[in-house]
A = this chain, B = another copy of it.
Amino acid sequence: MNSFGRVFRITTWGESHGPALGVVIDGCPARLPVDDNDIFNRLKLDVPDQELGTPRGEKNRFQILSGVFDGMTIGTPISIIIWNNDARPESYSGGRDTLRPGHADYTWLKRFGHTDWRGGSRASGRECIARLAAGAIALKILEKFGVSIKSRIIEMAGIEVTDAKSMENARDKALEIGKTGDSTGGAVELIISGLPAGTGSPVFAKLHADLSSAMFSIGGIKAVQFGVGTEVSAMKGSELNDSFDIDKDGEIFTETNSCGGILGGISTGDDLTIKLSVKPTPTVLIPQKTVDIREKKQKTVKYSGRFDMNFVPRIPPVAESMTAFVLVDHLMLSGIIPTTKLQPES
């Protein structure tokens, strides 16, 4: 349940406040150049906005422990460890016996017989750091095959984001509400370009079905849309259908892209577009009613401690990673990305 993928497969481990987190990437072909900078450049995206985001001072010190030798993957599992140098379990102990509303404390209690009072365990956003590390590898593979993934915030704190100015307004709004101790949400869009037509499968391994599962595996995502998404409900077939045309090289293409680059679970070759709705951070610094599981009664609690006013800026890099895992996997399954080696030995 902590693994993702079929032939390109990642397994993540580590709790938010344990000594380290990590990932094992299985199925990466040999002879992909990889160095520490590839990983470093993705890990630094983890908290892109220090004011809105968590003040946790992680340095994200990491090591590649296997699978890479002399700057090149060798076909064995790539194990990457990221040390938690700023884990402070004791800072959470105030809330040890109360279930944090909007968090997974209660559902973990029912599932595993305990809550991890150190701060969310693997239900914490911190878990995603391992996905960022693995994403560096998957994105590098995709790049070699001409596939790129772009993502951006399209809504924050109730304000639509279309340009730099609206982004600034949205951020101001999120900070303003954040200063009252409350949190805000938003929405993110992903655009995948360069994906060959014919990627994906019919029926149960539809490309967008796998992508949706990837997106919902990220904490805080409550809706996933492809193409025009929820708008389809009120459209006519004649409006939604994308006409086909053919260029002078005999390449078929869709004149429009309402379908979001996918028909029947298989890519059309046009941009594949995804929209994610991100909930406001469940931790807020205002009084809330909850249950104390020792005293077995309802209480009003007010948390202090670490607080992301808005974690929407943390979604794009992890959503890109998850998207990349799905794409590499499908491109391997359809034979476009080799599973054994990317180039012969020099």
Residues of A within 8 A of B (CB): 1-4, 6-7, 9, 11-15, 18-22, 24, 26-27, 30-31, 63, 65-67, 69, 74-79, 81, 99, 101-104, 106-114, 116, 118, 121-123, 127, 155, 157-158, 177, 182-187, 196-206, 208-210, 212-217, 219, 222-246, 250, 252, 255, 259-260, 262-269, 277-284, 286, 288-291, 293, 296-298, 333-335, 338-341, 343-345
**Contact between A277 and B233, CB atoms less than 8 A apart:** yes
**Contact between A203 and B104, CB atoms less than 8 A apart:** no
28 residue pairs A–B, Cβ–Cβ below 8 Å: A1-B26, A2-B202, A4-B204, A13-B67, A13-B76, A30-B112, A30-B113, A65-B81, A76-B121, A101-B243, A107-B200, A123-B265, A127-B203, A157-B234, A182-B238, A183-B237, A187-B230, A208-B216, A210-B213, A213-B213, A216-B226, A230-B277, A232-B277, A238-B284, A241-B288, A245-B291, A246-B291, A335-B335
**Contact between A102 and B265, CB atoms less than 8 A apart:** no
| Complex Cα gap A260–B197 (Å) | 36
Q: Across the interface, which residues of B come within 8 angstroms of A289, CB to CB?
A: 243-245, 255
Q: Is the interface of A mostly helix, strand, loop or mixed?
A: mixed
A249 to chain B, nearest CB (A): 10
Q: Work out how many copies of this chain go into the complex.
A: 4
Q: Across the interface, which residues of B come within 8 angstroms of A277, CB to CB?
A: 225, 229-233
Q: Across the interface, which residues of B come within 8 angstroms of A235, CB to CB?
A: 184-185, 279-280
